Structure 1
Amino acid sequence: MQPVIDFIAFAARWLVCLLMLLIAFHGTEVMDLIAKWYFGRYTPQERVELERQGKLRPIPTTVCGRLGGHVFEVDLNYMQSWVEYEGKRAWEKDFGDNKTGCDANVVSLPLVMSWPGLQPEGEGAYLSHVTDDRLSVVLEPYYKAGQDLSYLRDLYQGPKASHVRGKLAFDSTLGLHTVAIANLLFKKETDALYWSEDQGQVNFVMRCLGSTWEGPYFLCEAFYVIEHLETFVRLKFLPSNVSAWQAIKRQSEAFVYANLKKIPARFDTDPPLTSLPGG
């Protein structure tokens, strides 16, 4: 019996590798074909009847979960990959048994959307990459008090003075402090570290990754905290959009508030944002 089990496990690993290779060379078309095969076995009329009888689960159109105690729901077409709920991580056994839905706590919610506009990417969103007109937004719970990200800035600067490759400066065009630092993985590459300060606290950190082959930088990652919602936001966009960092931060935060099922009562008279997408 054990040889059979070993063969099944071996075959499963190769199928996963094959799927990854197909996605790498053919993009999300592979996932679309699988989805159409799975969901397309029934006509719309047959699906409605089977769902009514409880013999078929409805196809979800949204993803829902709790962030900082607040229920967040977003159109499925925004999803860049699967949502992770509290419990087992994606690589652990029984990950599929985690509690899901609007009453479950979200650990990671990866989204992708157009820029500008923050519109859903549709069926092509899954596993898509950032471009000049597309950015990635990942929402995670934030467990620290306040929104000071000094620790993150200091982490990127590194424990050794040699990690910093330039003098601290202030970029008046961007309105950000900046310094050149060594890449954490490829020491020959030089990254650009930026941050914003308000009353001695760092409220925005951005790192643009250096690249010898694709110009000075090939990707920028930015981080900030929505303190009222205890939510940590990770952004990814191309260097061509760095000049729009304030608009990206402001609009992505508005997007989060716009997709809360109910804005917290304490903000009813003094909301943190004066406008939301579509408003």
Structure 2
Amino acid sequence: MTESRLRYSRYPCRVDEKTGTRAEGGRAPRAERRDSIRNRERIISAAEALFTGEGLDAPIDKIVTAAGVSPGTLYRHFPSRVQLWEAVLDQPLHAALDLVERALANPDRWAGIAEFVMATCALEAERGGYLNLMTTRFDGSPRLVELRGQIQRRIEELFDRAREEGAVRPDFTVEDLIFITLSNSRVAEVTRTVAPGAWRRNAELFLDSIRPERAHPLTQPPMRPSQVARAMMRPPAGRIRSAAAEKSTK
């Protein structure tokens, strides 16, 4: 057996010239690629879970520990936090866009609204993270900002059409929907281990309340979008902890 190198590889290994098999002690490029793909998937999976539970400012060291990789491995795949956000959030944001597009395509406007509301409530109740997607500032990622903006514009279009066609009560706004989703997520949280499906009843009661034939005058006007933004919009990811630390030193 003589020393050789696999063609097109920068990884030295020992190859039996008679059989062409690789001896122990070397790693084929294909194995390296498999390891790289597996590590990337583990990082994304760990980051998704932590982003859902702690927000997009979840500490990198926690992601590294949960993924079972070294910090160097994480930074080789994702040199910046923004790149990690994009890898984790691209699919959920496109899934959220698909939900509203399906609702808009439904010729039965009320059925489309009901399907959309139940689907978004299910996302938040069963997996969490939907409200984070809709309220976190994606500073540094124009792509995520634009994608989320597209979702919000299509949701507004969905409910504008529903009001125009008399499918929902005329005073219902998208801002109302945000807080209904928020309250339903709390119902799901406190009932998860006792009655996992209780959130569905809450969401169905909400849907019943926005039918036009159920409408009664409300005592409070709807919140303005700017008020909702101040109430709900999370700080830019990465600044939450620094703000808390600054406060603790005062």
Q: Structure 2-normalised TM-score?
A: 0.26
Instruction: Look at both structures and tell me which one has the larger radius of gyration over its CA atoms.
Output: 2
Higher relative CO (CA 8 A, sep ≥ 6), structure 1 or 2?
2
Higher percent of residues as helix: 2
